[in-house]
Structure 1
Amino acid sequence: MYAISLGDDGAELRPLEPWHAEEFLAHLDRGRQFVQQYISFGATATDAASAREILQSYADKKAADTGSLHGVWLDGKLVGGLLFRIFDAERGNCELGCWLEPAAAGRGLVTRGARVLIDWAVDERGMHRVEWYAASVNEPSVNVARRLGMTREGVLRERYPYRGVRQDTEVWAVLAEEWRAARARADR
């Protein structure tokens, strides 16, 4: 389908589809403890069938135009991904999220991939608002929102229980007009 270069380091953004189940499972196995800190599917994909089920659920969302899953590959190896957990074209709102295995952290892969997806959502699909939710203790995710120029809109205190602890969730967002203006400033 597509492979979008994320820079000179061999990183690419590609669709992550059901036929990637074995590769997806191997990727999760490499970083399961790290991924599971904040992402629940790290715990639910335990074999090829359950990995395929997760990927199929996002293929179904893609077909319904309500979400999508995109893998980040580094030198041909799946190391993480980005997803539109929610994609509401009618209302012009979407929620972008991410995960990454530890060996790929600190390279800007998520930020670069998110920029590609936000550009697409805003320019091609007419999204008005792109949201980013992160557990307050998930500093890498919060830092991605900052690097993307999103505005922290608030904290949903003890929003959901995860792994036995009620997590505070930060809500970050960028509006299409803000995204375009920031991109124009960067292009100068």
Structure 2
Amino acid sequence: MSTSRRDTLTDGIITLHRYRVEDAADVFAGALESVAEIHPWMPWCHPGYELSETQAWASFAIAQWDADRQFEFVIRTISGEQIGSGGINSLHDAHPLANLGYWIRTSQTRKGYATRATRLLAEFAFRDLGLQRVEIVAAVGNLPSQRVAEKAGATREGILRNRLVIHGTPHDAVGYSFVPGDFPPSATWQRQLPTS
């Protein structure tokens, strides 16, 4: 894995930076306003969610990054407002592939931020981590996440039966992927992305 990997990514509209302890309060506020939308698909963001849980997550994310196991980022506008979180996780031990995940706080959805973050994260996975495949797995009912994957240019590969367990129940999922060839060095995708 590259020792010169970036800990900050930007396309001039949004910035992603690796988790810091001081991010917890901002991330907590974003999650708290988004429980109704996120909880059905991501059980960690639950009614009664507390700041201590975000603090624990930030510490975990920092430790995982330092151990080269997982690479989580806070997503912000170029002016510094926290708008979500995303990362590269579930790195495979035998093959150069991983999962890509994201969430955007409710007040900042439908602005194209998740699409931009997804592209930046996938590019990071290939250029900084040397991976050869990045997967996005979204429950069949999670249409917003599927729209993000499609707008970001991921290839839809099909339905994966019982791929996810959410709230203790197996769910079929839609599988998407990126490969390095989706990111030619001369790409100008950031100027072409939709804004909604």
Give the structure 2 partner of residue 15 of structure 1.
18
- Percent same amino acid at aligned positions? 21
Q: CA 1:45–1:119 in 2, change beyond 3 Å: closer, same or farther?
A: farther
Q: Check the 8 A contact 1:45/1:54 in 2, yes or no.
A: no
Residue correspondence of structure 1 range 85-124 to structure 2 within 5 A: 85-88=89-92, 91-124=95-128
Q: Check the 8 A contact 1:72/1:78 in 2, yes or no.
A: yes
Q: Check the 8 A contact 1:45/1:51 in 2, yes or no.
A: no
CA distance in 2, matches of 1:153, 1:84: 19
**Is the partner of 1:19 in helix, strand or coil?**
helix
| TM-score, scaled relative to structure 2 | 0.80
**Is the partner of 1:171 in helix, strand or coil?**
strand
| TM-score, scaled relative to structure 1 | 0.83
Q: Check the 8 A contact 1:89/1:127 in 2, yes or no.
A: no
Residue correspondence of structure 1 range 1-188 to structure 2 within 5 A: 3-8=8-13, 11-43=14-46, 46-74=49-77, 75-88=79-92, 91-163=95-167, 165-177=169-181, 179-181=182-184, 184=187
User: Aligned AA for 1:97?
Assistant: G
**Is the partner of 1:43 in helix, strand or coil?**
coil
After superposition, give the CA deviation of every residue in 1:17-72 in whole Å (9 maximum; x if it has no partner): 33322222121111111121211221288222221112222222211111121111
Q: CA 1:173–1:45 in 2, change beyond 3 Å: closer, same or farther?
A: farther
Q: CA 1:152–1:31 in 2, change beyond 3 Å: closer, same or farther?
A: same
User: Aligned AA for 1:60?
Assistant: A
Gaps of 5+ in 1: none
Whose relative contact order is higher, 1 or 2, with alpha carbons under 8 Å and at least 6 apart?
A: 2
CA distance in 2, matches of 1:170, 1:63: 31
Gaps of 5+ in 2: 1-5, 192-196
CA distance in 2, matches of 1:47, 1:64: 26
CA distance in 1, matches of 2:71, 2:183: 23
Q: Check the 8 A contact 1:69/1:82 in 2, yes or no.
A: yes
Alignment size in residue pairs: 184
